[in-house]
Amino acid sequence: MSSIHRVGAPILHKQEFAWIRDYLYKHAGIVLNDSKQAMVMGRLEKRLRHHGIDSYGEYFRQFGKPGFENETTMAIDLLTTNETYFFRESKHFDFVVEKILPQHSAAKPFRVWSAASSSGEEAYTLAMLLAEYLRSRQWDIVGTDISTRILEKARRGLYPSNAAEKIPQILLKKYCLKGTGQYDGFLLVAPELRSHVKFEYANLIGTLPDLGTFDVIFLRNVMIYFDMETKQRLLDKIVKYLRPGGYFFISHSESLSGMKTELQTIMPSVYRKALD
């Protein structure tokens, strides 16, 4: 496979790509096809230069060795972090506001899990909507991700100003602060909103932390990276965290077709767990 790369930069050979592909599948459940070879090079080349290592094979051989644990985690972070933005696939958020929130009992807290939260935009989008429509009622959001580096960014709630493009102006003014001084050109999610959102590390194919149960779970743009066997195991695990009558969202580009599940299809990419 040929690709454009920096002159003098290490080349990721076929057997090296096969090794990292197998490693990622074992540790994160992610399936990398051959078209991702250039992506692996692009994301890891700086790490090789940082350590003065001149081949990917030598870099990979350090994984898990004493003193290299943090680097191993960083490499996994770099290869598993995906694009996200505020109000992505906005019809899902419309559904939450129009169909789910009106029928929720005020007697109990409303809980949402953003299961692959990345840098936090999905979780904070939901937080703006819950703050707006539930007002003084109790609610909380949990965001989880495999990337410790990206979770730190999510906890800060600090984003470039252009990230606000999809946020409705009324919500932007109410729940985001405009950066000044050294933070000029950034926006900060308001502290009172951040206080309702908790971010935790979780490897979805590993042992999950005790998170409680949820009225809504978002697991979007995740299963496209897994094979069918891993998808089924993940779905079986996630559904246990969904309360009876709770809703489960996947991306519009994904489907539960061919999978065994107790969930009822409400509309494409939206599912519901039966009431007891």
For residue 250, which phi and psi values (nearest 5 degrees)?
-120, 175
Nearest to 142 by CA among 118, 115, 121: 115
Cβ neighbours of residue 158 closer than 8 Å, sequence gap 6 or more? 179, 183, 186, 187, 188, 189
Rama region for 249: left / alpha / beta (φ>0; ψ in -120 to 50; rest): beta
Mark whether 34 is an active-site residue: no
Nearest to 122 by CA among 78, 76, 170, 163: 163
Catalytic residue from among 21, 111, 145, 220: 145
Mark whether 145 is an active-site residue: yes
Count each helix (H run) and each strand (E run) in the chain, helices first: 10, 10
Task: List the 139-145 sheet strands across, edge first.
Answer: 197-201, 139-145, 110-114, 214-218, 242-249, 270-272, 264-267
**Active site (catalytic) residues:** 43, 145
